[in-house]
Amino acid sequence: MRAQIGLGTLRLLSTTSPGDIVNEARRLGIGCIDIPASVDDIDRDGTILTALATEPDAPLPSWLILRYDPRNPARPSLLRSATGVSCRITALVDRPERRYVQYRTEGLDHTAAMIALREYLIEAFSALHHDVADGHLTDYGILSETLSMPHDMEGAISLVDVLDIVRTTVGTTESFTTVQMPMNVLEHGAVTSHVYDGRSVLQLCEEHGIHVVVHRALDAIVDQSLIRLVSWPIPDHLVHADDVAARIHALEITEHDVANMVIASLSAEASVREAILETFRIAGSLCTAWNGFDGLPHWRDVRKQHLDPRFEAMTRVAVRMREDGADTTLFAKFLDDIEDVLDDIDVLYALDENASLEELRISIADELGLPMDTPLQHIALHAVRCTHGVHTVLVGARSSEQLHDVLTTSDLPITPIHESTWHRIHAHLARLSTE
């Protein structure tokens, strides 16, 4: 068996056209959509709601996963009436371990914080059970990052305790159907950590007939650092760090000249001049820092938040000057050169990322009997999808191309993956970390 693919929409909200990606997922047959908010939040944003209400020719989702928010309870009836969607709707209590941290921050000791956490869970599951009884929800469950951690670890959530709370609160666990947790080739405690009287959380879920949803299949968090389990595409042209450094230094001079040209053409006042000089500081900002970021994800975050907005502002200025009849030849070449440098910095970080994970990629591909040129993201996703006890794996594609890439893992041969395989993968990781 191979777990189905579901669409996680958390990252979509940072894209320019999240609705398009939701509808593309529907057309591709992805029936599960995970929405990390209460329905009221979705209604205020309107993006996902609108996407579900449009594209009548696309198949409607068969399963929507929402979040329980005690301050703003989910109202699936709103979703159904607004979209005409009649499907399974599940609400999850979202990472209750964060509540524990909040209680501790507010000054409660461990015992008092655990009592407060239990009271919160009682309130949550009681409300969810009423929603099921009223026909607003199909069922409910829990999302936690700590279900596979030792229970004596502060704030860790025990699934046994959760089931006991549900049973005590509402009299039955019949409507408690779903558990969502992280799992990937670097974080595999869900299958290898026997914290439930010699059983893993996956085994416990199987015993209780609980549907397991996995997120972060391609995003590992190790020592508080994010590791993207991806083989990044590399262009054919060669990129050398020394060449990039020299180009940045040259562009720093051009950048200053272009900024002065803009100031002169606009006859800018002092305050405007300062704003222009601050905007025209991409090469200047990169000059000493471009190779000091903590990997590709960090670099791309910095580029998206700080550099791309400056580049877009520069482009708007160039368009305005050209419309006013100014000669923007130097300006246009400068923009092209800046964009090329930013893209080549992407490539250099991608090369480093690929090299750092190459031995891991080869080892796991060999362990799973996959072609040796299989990209790491396909290997990592395939490993989780084929693990016994996993039913749905969420992916957070930000583009149509990423969605299609994810679905190619369905073309790989089904390889039943049990605990013994994961222990061998762990052995590969241990070996690689000591070499």
pLDDT tens-digit series, residues 334-367: 999 999 999 999 999 888 888 888 999 999 999 9
| Cβ-count burial 111-144 (b if 16+ within 10 Å, e if not) | eebbebbbebbeebbebbbebbeeebbbbbbbbb
Q: How large is the average pLDDT for residues 88-116?
A: 94
Q: How far, CA to CA in Å, does 111 sit from each of 108, 118, 156, 330?
A: 8, 11, 13, 67
Residue-wise pLDDT tens digits, 299-333: 888 898 889 999 999 999 889 888 888 888 999 99
> Rounded CA gap, 146 and 135, in Å?
30
Find out whether 217 and 380 touch, Cβ atoms under 8 Å: yes
pLDDT confidence bin for 44, thresholds 50/70/90 = very low
Going from N- to C-terminal start, the domains of the chain cover 4-230+375-433, 241-355
Q: What residues are paired with 428 via a beta bridge?
A: none
Find out whether 428 and 360 touch, Cβ atoms under 8 Å: yes
Residue-wise pLDDT tens digits, 225-263: 788 899 988 877 788 888 999 999 999 999 988 888 888
**Alpha helix (H) residue ranges in 139-200:** 159-170, 189-192
Stronger pLDDT, 82 or 375, i.e. the higher one: 375
Fold of 4-230+375-433: TIM Barrel (3.20.20)
